[in-house]
Structure 1
Amino acid sequence: MHGQGDAAAACRFTVLGPPTLRHGAAELDLGAPQQQAVLMALLAHRGRFVRVGELVDGLWGERAPATGDAVVRTYISRLRRLLAEHGLGEAIRSRSGGYLLDPTRFTLDATDFTRLVETARRERAEGNAAAAAKLLEEALGLWTGTALAGVPGEAAEGERSRLERLKLIATQELFRLRLDLGRHAEVVAEVPLLLELNRLEESLYEIYLLALYRSGRRAEALEVYRTVYDLLGKELGVAPGPRLREIHEKILRAEPEDEPPVAASAPVVASSRPAGPLFVGRAAERAAFAATANRGGVLFLCGPAGIGKSALVRRFADDAAAAGRTVWHLDGLPTARLRERLDALAAEATPRPVLLLDSFERHQELEPWLRADFLRRLPGDAVVVVAGRRRPGIAWLTDPAWSGALEVRHLDPLSARESAALAEARGADPASVASIVDFAAGNPLVLALAAEVGRGLAATGQPSRREAERYVVDTVLELLVGDVPTARHRQALHVCAHARYTTEDLLRVAIPDGDAAELFDWLRTRPFVETPGHGLDVTGVLRVALDTHLRWRDPVGYERMHRRIRGYVLGPLLRDTTEPQAGVAVMRTIGHLRRRGGVVARFVSAAGEEDLRAASVRPAEHDELVALARETSGACTASSVRFWLERRPEAFTALRRREDNRLRAFMSWLTLDAPAAAELAADPVVAAIWRDGRTDLPEGAHIGVARHLICPEREVKPNPVTDVFLGRMMRDWLHEPGLAASYLVVANPQLWSPLMDYLGHHEVAHPGSEGVFGHDWLADPPSRWRDHHLDDELWGERRLNLFGGAQPNVKE
């Protein structure tokens, strides 16, 4: 019996080719292909327990036999006997319902491959190209064929694809290193074979063009570009990416292309070349840079991914170079190497330098050193631009030494006009420019991506419009969101995109098995999440992309999330709302949830909010309310207001501005179970409502009437005050005990009639010019009314229409 260390040293799995298991000089027989698939599935999980059901699914998928569990257990038993014969009897451990392959009992060629590749990358980052190339050659030498060759099953296919992709990436890194080392001919000879197996791998064409051009074969390089341009357009409906186009343009102009791919690792003096026609806007930021350049100082550029920070930094470099300044533009370096380069720069004492640090979110640990040490060693007229996704730390703002020498600029989205100009400059199909601008919400990266995809779509008609839209959405999420820690964090992102405002309470309801506090704290640190007063809010194009992505990927989960959010908003959130500002937030959330169907969203204000307080009405204020009613709605309404103030003063709620206590608006909510004859005689509108209502009210039931909704705008358009009114009425409709029917009286029935019809409120005939709408809550109770429009909310809207063209309202 061998010890564990001896067994691990003597036992080696190979998966970078046909799978084998060697123990010393002996090669073990791993059995039938399906038995090998079970072993490889355990191996791929790298020391984690795997349930029997997962092994069955990974082997047979949907075609699993009824005896699949038993067959897998048989394979496990045979593998255990095989390993036990070589001192590895404990290598496969079991627990209820699953198995684990102990990775400490063997070595694995895939692990060695990964280690060598990572070591090569570190060598390359340190500038040791030759050593890095040797390490990559050693890593690729471990491969003996197609990964897991001959192993069947979906799990094996997934692992095979992953390993082959890693091999392709490592091969490309080796090719680039060989280009750096001047071994162009080797690359020209080897790339074509790889391209036959990876026809749509655009980065391989970049390498091939460079190798051909640097080998003096310019005409062949241009022909390869024409071929790939046609191929990408035909197969994917897209044009070549910016890097490939940039190489092509240099070849066309016969410019020297001798920069290694890691050229960004050293500071360079910017050329005075023009910035080109694809840069638009940012006049205020360029003016701020010019002012900082005149006096010296630090300019922070902040903003989420894709907002245009790098493009603006490049423009700063051009502006500074045109003014005769020495420009150091640093990007793409490891943190340790960046600090070394900055120390070297400070030691050079270059006069009037301009230092541009891009993607600084990767180097946050350098911020204290940068502020307290490095910047103090630069000349007083030095200009430093720091661009990143995060704002500068609080120490910058509280340190007196930086008062007046630091300016922070948060990049806003481009305007609609600037967005259109950028889309047109990118060659977007004119018919799609408006829809691309609307979708991108001012994000330059998304504008460029959609324009490029749309240009290919217009030219070839391939892929389909829907596939092109989904490609753009998926790419937006990959670029702007990146990796997400867990599935619960991704759910939190989808909730934040779907709801108007996201709080801990909402997350607790929408993701019942998640840690709401942890998810909320994680969300609020994302650079693309804003924190308005009522909760968190995903901004711009990400809201559309996240919501669209989940909607087509998991429609059942999407509906479940919507129901939970809507139930919370129309339930506890609406019920507990008392302050006007909170009422506005609730109505905007309701309108946002109903943006996909119906008409509610059109009747909720989109922006703007006065600082109002709600208060009951004192006798001394009656004349003030009557005067406002007369001013906005006429003498008849003013007379009605005075009458009910005297009879039911508790029914009135006034909205006043906090800053000066000015009366801004008011409403009345009359509860009627047996109105007096004098009341019916004095108010014909209430009399008509009483005749329309139920005369056989159950015991304890009543009718509610929103009799007066008075605000200076006379309800001519949705505004924050009408939001408060609507929120108050919906709260009463859904949560007032004993409410048998409700009515509201509006001064502009033509405006509000579509909303009332959508909400199931019929119009009541009555004397006068006002509109009266009512709903019978006994016949159509709140629970049924609340769910009535769910299908319209979720599915009855126009689909994402990114590339123009009319699309009908359809369900997916």
Structure 2
Amino acid sequence: MTPVGRAGLSLERGLLTGQQLCGRVGCSYIAAVSKDSGSLADRLRWARERAFVGRSEEIAVFRRALAGEADAAAVIYVHGPGGVGKSTLLRRFADESRDAGRPVVEVNGRLVDPSPAGFESETAGSPVDAVLLIDAFEHCQGLEMWLYERFLPSLPQQTLVVVAGREGPSPSWTSQLAWSELLAVVPLGDLDPSDAERLLELRAVAPAVRAQVLAFAGGHPLALSLAASVAADGYGARWAPTPDVLTFLLSQLVGEVPTQVHRLALEVAAHAMTTTEGLLRAVVGEDRGAEMFTWLRRLPVADWGRQGMFLHDLVSDAIDTDLRWRDPQGYEEMHRRVGHHLLEQARTASPAAAMVAIRELSYIKRYGSMGSYFQMRREGDFHEDTLRPGDHDAVRRLIVQAEGPESAAIVDFWLERQPEAFWIYRETVTGEPVAFMTWLRLSEPRADETAADPVLAQMWEHVGRTSPLRAGEHAMLARFFIYPPAYYEISPVLHLMQLRVCADWIRSAGLAWSFIISPYPRLWEQLMEHLGHEAATALDWPNGHTYTLFACDWRTTPLSIWFDRTQPGGLTDEASTPTTGAPTATLTRAEFDAAVRDALRDWHREDAIAASPLCRARMVTIQPGYVAEHAAQMLRELLTDAVDSLSVDPREAKLHRVLATTYFHRVPNQMIAAERLSLPYSTYRRHRQRGLERVCELLWKRETAERSLPVSHL
């Protein structure tokens, strides 16, 4: 295959002048747009064209394909390292396509759901003569074989496709004879010296400084652009490079951020997978969210797609790393606010939108001591699906291969009893099942179920011994995570299973207990402890494994604070904030209950909450990330969640309404609260008293627990 990956085509052969090319394509790309054009869009196009340098060979390949020349490629695959200019080149391709009268469809691999259905939804309804531009394909590289075997052949002949990513196409694609005349592979490298100098000239970098900048950044387009932003702004001949390009340049750019609010917005954008106005409102405040979003979009390192705005990967990594090192407490607070916003999205959105929020929650867990459980270098090879009628044989084959006939008999039982509990994970290319998860929903022990499944029997024994289910509650048991090539090991397939489990932890009303099984507790115990699931039972099995069941009682783990207890941590394994040695108030049960009642009464008074002895109670000080200045906020969240937990049980919903109205809705007195609830005053008082007793009981259980109580999964 030739340097551009297509037999008989080289970058040097058949190049045309800009005028000839535009003539063949039917456009006037250079002539039609000028500084004096009437519309703002035209002026922006002129500025973009003027700032674009180099890449003449790559553009020539694209123009030949756009013109439909006989030996031109139908698919162009551009690949190169981060910051080398792939997205900029695709924007140029988009401009030229529109000039040629061709509709443009843009897909960003960073934002697309990495499954065939998710990818197809991004391109549905595309015109037959569209130019399809797929950027950041490395984020869904696992779709590659499906792309060239199924998706691309299904497109109309008139469609032109450009794929851009950090990884080149696989040999299994480029070696296929059928693709040799249709695929052009275009490696993208640094700008040559003359183009690099031209870029600095266009960015108004003084001639006396250019040699230093070039020596500093080489021909790397992103580094050159960032260096130009710094060197062109008052440095003159005094500009001095440092050994670390991005660290130095970003420190300069962050130093010029107008206010602390702007700095926080930049840090949010670096931390999150995508940034929206809603996310910024949640973190920087309702009155500044729109302003900060507009400011971020104007940054030269920002890009955007259907889900929101995002920074270039190299930039976001550098900013995020700097904040974790510089201000770990500020980092954890920002992380907490981002997480709470995503939690609310995951809890309230439609199922499809909720899974996007779950993926973004998982993304912000990519750092810290748990990072190895959440960092997936490659996605798209597999996707989640429901159980179909023809899948039963594959499920049986997988369980026999992984665990043996004894487990297969249990799987057969659950396929008959609860088929909706099975999630299938298919290979994207073939659609064949390669893994499955059995995620059981259980509301009461049944003799035939416990007889058929000894793990279930152990689960119900643990629940009955510790804290039985109440009316309207249920437990969820992750009975099987079966992927034979990486059996209960960290893998992209298990990551998809974790996302599904996480979604149900967040969205399942009435969830009281969750259980996770593993034959390798030492591999997973660190994550389980981090997520609040403690080892509860162990069962020897005929295949030689001992299966440990990790358990979490969600009634003692209100949803609104569980994310706070799974902070990503500092740059090292050492805790970034002190979590031990905090002064703890020792209260008797009577003193504790009185303090709870006082704190509810003073819920709207910040000074009174801050002075409460509960701010030094063990249930507050054992929280990961505890610092004294956040104690009042942590206490208010504990009080709120304890009250809200009463709404789960229909029998206690009336207690929740009484307490919420009395303490959270700013009613002047209890008589008015009773009137607002349409209750006789005697009934109101009885409900309020019983509600206070239940809240004190729940919080006392937290106070006297042996360790920080369970949390959820990200």
- TM-score interval (norm. to shorter): 0.3 to 0.5
Larger radius of gyration, structure 1 or 2? Answer: 1
Query: RCO (CA 8 Å, sep 6+): is it higher in 1 or 2?
Result: 2
Question: What is the TM-score of this pair, normalised by structure 2?
Answer: 0.45
